[in-house]
Structure 1
Amino acid sequence: MRATTAILLLGTCFFVGIDCYPQESCSAYFASVKMEEVVKPFKSAAELAHHVLLITPSENWRHLVSGDVEFVLKCGSQQDAADLFAALRNTSLHLVDATIAEADQHFIRVRWDQPYRFDMPLTAYRFNFDIPLTAVPHPGEKVIIDGTYSSYSQEPFQINMTNASIHPVPPKPIIHPKQ
């Protein structure tokens, strides 16, 4: 069900060209195609976020991918964001290949770069550490990071995580071509 929801959300976002995040609208690339004939567009990003929650059973909200969580919390109505976060509070999140955007001894802010996401310069996830880090990662480094949903705010947009742990991404093995 999670994959179906993710595909629906991504497909809808692509064709609708939502401008919730600062990005160039997708509709500019498909000016020759009449979008009204292909997809009935949503009126707003909040309507799309609400639709995601409507088509996903509430017991599966905690299984939404982090990009969908960001979208609903940022672009959804206050009620939709509150309902989603009530389901997420105190659940864990595991991000692989997260990119460090900002870091110090007490917190790390990450971007989650995945090939199917739009170019969103969001750094919404802030992982707070109980014990100060001895080795602070540098911006741009790739890490594996875990944490527990703690709180969020829509303005400024931020998702706070507690009980954070961080691990370096293991290097990919070098494959030598056969001679």
Structure 2
Amino acid sequence: MKKAVVASLLAVASAATCARVAVAQTQVNLGANAQQTGGGIQLAPAEYNDYTAAIGQTTPQAQAPALEQFLQKYPQSQVKTDVLQRLMAAYSAFDPAKTLDAADRVLQVDPNNIRALTIETFFRLQGSDSITDPAAKQAALDKAASYAQQGLSATKPKDMSDADFATAKGAATPIFHRAIATDALAKKDAATAITNLKANLDGAKPEETKTPGPLLQDTYTLGQAYYASTPPDFLSCAWYATRAASFAPEPYKTQMMPLAKFCYKRYHGADDGFDALVTQAQANLNPPANLSDTIKPAPKPADVAHQVVTSTADLSTLAISDKEFILQNGSTEDAAKVWDTIKGKTVQIPDATVVSVSDTALQVSVSDDAVQGKTADFTFNLTAPLKTAPTVGSKVTVTGTYSSFTPNPIMITMSDGAVVEPKKTPAKPAPGHRPVRKK
């Protein structure tokens, strides 16, 4: 099957909204000349006037530079943390980079500031979506997860009320769990991802998981995490992916449903009964404890492989994906029978997905499982370096000779590998011109 790829969060809360929830504003009550805040902070009259002028700006674009000027003029102000928090909120409306810079400055003076940790986590997680380099993307996710872990363990500061801290922590906790889960999935740590995504869903109201938004996205990602588990939990994958797809608007519904059906079929072995699962998943966020008793599992892979081997008169006629399935899951005897039909033979494989490429080898995904998991199941040892290296994720036609294989994880190694260049269509002669016949 093709992987269901969701390009972005479904109607995710804007960065500015996140910042407004995370950043509570300090109320300042001043006397005539004492200039004392409600929290006991005293400001000189001139500083107080500059402070009130800066926070009184009516737009984020006007407030941000005014706050910056205040910080330059009063670098050691007693309201520095408050001003930096306001600066985060202002920048979050129009400049993510400066938002993070403001959050960095808050953490320099208050390392466990829940509001700044929320901003760091949210914007770093959001920014990772646009990073294409795998190493840089993982570094960004690691950074977001690090701030998230710090945020989850943050304690209430003495100058913050219980109510304000509870509000800030309540808004931030799902963001923290989401960042940790996303980072874990990128590192193939499905167990950590599942723990954090379940925490988000268990802490939400069921109705909130039915509407487009981050929690609906978390539901689908939880299905992906169960699929990525070792071994895969296909039934749990089918449940959560089905629930997410049921309530997602288009085009996300169409992108999500293939994973739901794929996992269901891998567990059950066929499509029958899937409509009943859809009805159940729509009515309940989590599956019933006896779900596995109500849906019959498919035969074990080794049994399926043996049945195919014993019922196929000519094993060489099997599709490549079927041969690979038997090599991976069949008994030693059944795998040997299939391997004897292909060893040393040269084949051409179209529409292989590139996973990695070097001067000496090309690794690709061929089977549906490999494509779904973004893992390589074929290695083509190249006869010569490629003139033009294909990009990771692109589709290529490759040729090679079956050389060897390892069953777990499955890797089929091909010798004499090469990429087959697509044939160029001859250019048509210009209208009104006859082709010149060579003598």
**TM, length-normalised to structure 1:** 0.67
**Structure 1 residue 21: deviation in Å?**
7.3
Deviations 1:3-22 (CA, angstroms, capped at 9, x unpaired): xxxxxxxxxxxxxxxx9974
1:82 paired to 2:326: no
Is the 1:143–1:169 contact (alpha carbons within 8 Å) kept by the matching residues of 2?
Answer: no
Q: 2:306: which partner in 1?
A: 50
Seen in structure 2, the aligned counterparts of structure 1 residues 103 and 157 have a Cα distance that, compared at 3 Å, is same
CA distances 1:103-149 after superposition (whole Å, capped 9, x unpaired)? 11111111126xxx466424211111122323222211111111111
Pick closer, same or farther for the CA change 1:61–1:164 going to 2, 3 Å.
same
Letter in 2 for 1:56: T
- Listed as ranges, the matches of 1:81-160 within 5 Å are 81-112=335-366, 117=368, 120-121=372-373, 122-160=375-413
Structure 2 contact 377–410 (Cα < 8 Å) conserved: yes
Give the corresponding residue for 1:30: 274
- Using a 3 Å threshold, how does the CA distance of structure 1 residues 21 and 49 change in structure 2: closer, same or farther? farther
Contact 1:105/1:134 (<8 A) preserved? no
Return the alpha-carbon distance in structure 1 between the equivalents of residues 387 and 364 of structure 2.
18
State the 1:168 CA deviation. Answer: 4.1
Aligned positions of 1:154-173 closer than 5 A = 154-169=407-422
| 2:402 partner amino acid | Y
User: What is the alpha-carbon distance in structure 2 between the residues aligned to residue 21 and residue 160 of structure 1?
Assistant: 24
Structure 2, unpaired ranges of 5+: 1-228, 238-262, 278-293, 425-439
Name the SS of the counterpart of 2:403 in structure 1. strand
Hey, what's the Cα distance between the residues in 1 that align with 2:422 and 2:364?
Answer: 14
CA distance in 2, matches of 1:61, 1:127: 23
Aligned mates of 1:31, 1:21 — CA distance in 2: 25
Write the letter of the residue equivalent to 2:315.
W
Q: TM-score, normalised by structure 2?
A: 0.30
How far apart are the structure 2 equivalents of 1:155 and 1:77? Answer: 12
Partners of 1:94 and 1:144 within 8 A in 2: yes
Name the structure where helix makes up a greater proportion of residues: 2
Q: For residues 123 and 89 of structure 1, what CA distance do their matches in structure 2 show?
A: 19
Q: Where is the strand percentage greater, Structure 1 or Structure 2?
A: 1
How many angstroms apart in 1 are the aligned matches of 2:361 and 2:315? 26
* 2:382–2:416 CA contact under 8 A, matched in 1: yes
Shift in alpha-carbon separation, 1:48–1:20, aligned structure 2, 3 A:
farther
Aligned-residue offset at 1:82: 1.6
CA offsets 1:60-92 (integer angstroms, 9 cap, x no match)? 322321111111111111221122112210112
1:43-74 CA deviation, whole Å, 9 max, x = no partner?
A: x11010111111111xx322321111111111
The CA distance in 2 between the partners of 1:41 and 1:136, in whole Å, is 41
Query: Which residue of structure 2 lines up, in the alignment, with residue 16 of structure 1?
Result: none
Counting only pairs closer than 5 Å after superposition, residues 11-30 of structure 1 correspond to structure 2 as 22=232, 23=234, 24=237, 25-26=263-264, 27=267, 30=274
How many residues end up aligned between the 2 structures?
145
Change (3 A) 1:72 1:86: same
Between 128-137 and 149-158, the greater mean CA deviation after superposition: 128-137
Q: Which has the higher relative contact order, 1 or 2, with Cα contacts under 8 A spaced 6 or more apart? A: 1
Amino acid at match of 1:151: S
Q: 2:319 pairs with 58, 61, 65, which one?
A: 65
How far apart, in 2, do the equivalents of 1:137 and 1:70 lie? 24
Q: Distance in 1 between the 2:231 and 2:362 partners?
A: 22
Q: CA deviation at 1:100?
A: 0.6
Identity across the alignment (%)? 26
Return the index of the structure with the highest Cα Rg.
2
2:182 aligned residue: none
SS at match of 2:390: coil
